[in-house]
């Protein structure tokens, strides 16, 4: 890809870096260079498609700048420029929504390839956003059909996720009934649980379908899915408090989860409950990278993770119901 309608910003406090980036990019893109973050932020009204930014600058940290850009224009892709491979800042940047990074001194091909990949991804995201916008308009008229359509959209990318979402949402309702959650809340929770991994629409297929362990870089990408899902669904009115399930289903009781690293009761109740169900279903399903646990083994594992991954009092509350489900054969039928 490359056309002069695509706008690329370069932000670096070194003039020489600005100029060499301009030379590399100017044949394919419309390039604007900035020496100060404040100027680049003011320039956001020009609607850039992509921003290269230095990770360390005098007046504002590159990470702070990234945060501001993502708040003002969430769909702009950002690539960090680092002087040396500073792993912790780079991971932090990826976690905060940067697409990639390049290391100084960089070569022409490295810059162009990074730009191309970022712009491809931006196109995908914009396309999904358009599709979702169309679907969203139908939401309040017919949310059941819309939910199915969104689930199918995820299914097309990652077939495991669609089935997993169906099972976990049904289990959440069954369990919710037994622990006294109201019918109206359960309707919302059911819809949100069906869509809890919708953010995977925004993750590259090569990562979603990868067999074998993920690199830290790939894992950081996966970790963006709750936030992407939340951003997709936030404008809908039919999910309301169910959105907590989408955004916080990977938080952990011991604060080692993501995206926000919340601790204990800071994690909203439906997300704490759903995290147990989500993990249970993942454990009892065969995946390409590991074999499944039996029902009993999964329950044992959940009890073992009490106080670490899961809210201990919630585990105590739901385990007897899991055991009852197992006895009834309900879990096999899901």
By beta-carbon proximity to Fe ion, the closer residue of 32 and 248 is 248
Window contacting Fe ion (CB under 5 A); options: 35-43, 192-200, 228-236, 310-318: 192-200
Q: Quick one: 119 or 195, whose CB is closer to Fe ion?
A: 195
Closer by beta carbon to Fe ion, 136 or else 200: 200
Region near Fe ion per CB under 5 A, out of 48-56, 155-163, 190-198, 291-299: 190-198
Task: Rank residues 11 and 277 by Cβ distance to Fe ion and give the closer one.
Answer: 277
Nearer to Fe ion, 80 or 233 (CB): 233
Min separation Cβ 226 and Fe ion, Å: 6
Q: Least Å distance between CB 277 and Fe ion?
A: 12
Is residue 12 within the footprint of Fe ion (CB under 5 A)?
A: no
Peptide bond into 259 cis (omega under 30): yes
Give the residue with the Cβ less far from Fe ion, 77 or 197: 197
Check: CB of residue 93 under 8 Å from CB of residue 52.
no
Q: Cα separations (Å) of 298 from 130, 166, 322?
A: 40, 19, 10
Would you call 206 helix, strand, or coil by DSSP? Answer: helix
Rounded to a whole number of angstroms, the minimum distance from the CB of residue 199 to Fe ion is 8
Q: How many of the other CB atoms lie within 10 Å of CB of 4?
A: 11
Which range binds Fe ion by CB under 5 A, 193-201, 254-262, 285-293, 299-307? 193-201
Site mask for Fe ion (CB under 5 A), range 139-178, x = bound: ----------------------------------------
The closest residue (CB) to Fe ion is 197
| 136 vs 225 by CB, closer to Fe ion | 225
Q: How many residues bind Fe ion (CB under 5 A)?
A: 1
Interacting span for Fe ion (CB under 5 A) from 40-48, 113-121, 142-150, 196-204: 196-204
> Scanning the structure block, which residue is given the tokens 């963006």?
224
| C-beta closer to Fe ion: residue 100 or 197 | 197
Helices 108-139 and 225-233: crossing angle, nearest 10°? 40
CB atoms under 10 Å from CB of 112, counted, come to 16
Candidate ranges 71-79, 191-199, 286-294, 324-332; the one touching Fe ion (CB under 5 A): 191-199
Give, in order, the Cα–Cα distances in Å from 281 to each of 142, 161, 168, 284, 292: 28, 11, 7, 5, 10
**Which candidate, 150, 237, 271, places its Cα nearest to that of 202?**
150
Residue 267 Cβ vs Fe ion, minimum distance, rounded to whole Å? 14
Strands (E), 45-124: 50-54, 77-82, 100-103
Tell me the closest approach of the beta carbon of residue 68 to Fe ion, in angstroms. Answer: 27
Q: Nearest-5° angle of CA 130, CA 134, CA 136?
A: 110
Q: Can you tell me whether residue 290 is helix, strand or coil?
A: strand
Are the beta carbons of 8 and 31 closer than 8 angstroms? yes
- 133 vs 234: CA distance, rounded Å: 12
Query: Binding Fe ion by CB under 5 A: which of 197, 244, 251, 281?
Result: 197
Peptide bond just before 308 cis, omega within 30 deg: no
Closest approach of Cβ 160 to Fe ion, in Å? 11
Contact between residue 190 and residue 172 where contact means Cβ atoms under 8 Å apart:
yes
Footprint of Fe ion (CB under 5 A): 197
């Amino acid at each position: 890809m490359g056309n002069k309608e695509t706008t690329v910003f370069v932000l670096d406090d070194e003039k020489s870096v600005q100029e060499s980036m301009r030379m590399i990019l100017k044949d394919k893109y419309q390039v604007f260079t900035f020496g100060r973050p404040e100027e680049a932020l003011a320039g956001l009204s020009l609607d850039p498609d992509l921003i290269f930014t230095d990770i360390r600058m005098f007046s504002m940290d590159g990470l702070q700048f990234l945060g501001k850009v993502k708040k003002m224009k969430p769909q702009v892709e950002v690539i960090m420029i680092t002087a040396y491979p500073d792993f912790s800042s780079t991971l932090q940047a990826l976690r905060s929504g940067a697409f990639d990074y390049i290391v100084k001194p960089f070569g022409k091909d490295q810059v162009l390839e990074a730009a191309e990949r970022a712009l491809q991804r931006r196109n995908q995201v914009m396309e999904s956003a358009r599709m979702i916008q169309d679907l969203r308009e139908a939401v309040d008229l017919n949310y059941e059909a819309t939910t199915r359509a969104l689930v199918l959209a995820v299914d097309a990318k990652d077939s495991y996720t669609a089935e997993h979402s169906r099972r976990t949402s049904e289990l959440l309702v069954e369990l919710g009934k037994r622990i006294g959650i109201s019918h109206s809340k359960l309707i919302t929770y059911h819809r949100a649980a069906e869509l809890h991994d919708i953010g995977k629409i925004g993750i590259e297929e090569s990562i979603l379908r990868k067999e074998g362990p993920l690199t830290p870089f790939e894992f950081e990408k996966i970790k963006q899915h709750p936030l992407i899902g939340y951003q997709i669904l936030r404008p809908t009115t039919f999910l309301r408090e169910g959105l907590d399930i989408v955004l916080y289903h990977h938080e952990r009781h011991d604060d080692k989860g993501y995206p926000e690293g919340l601790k204990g009761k800071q994690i909203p109740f439906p997300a704490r409950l759903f995290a147990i169900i989500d993990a249970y279903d993942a454990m009892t399903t065969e995946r390409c990278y590991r074999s499944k646990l039996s029902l009993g083994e999964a329950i044992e594992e959940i009890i073992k993770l009490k106080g670490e991954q899961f809210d201990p009092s919630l585990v105590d509350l739901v385990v007897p119901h899991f055991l009852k489900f197992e006895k009834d054969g309900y879990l096999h039928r899901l």
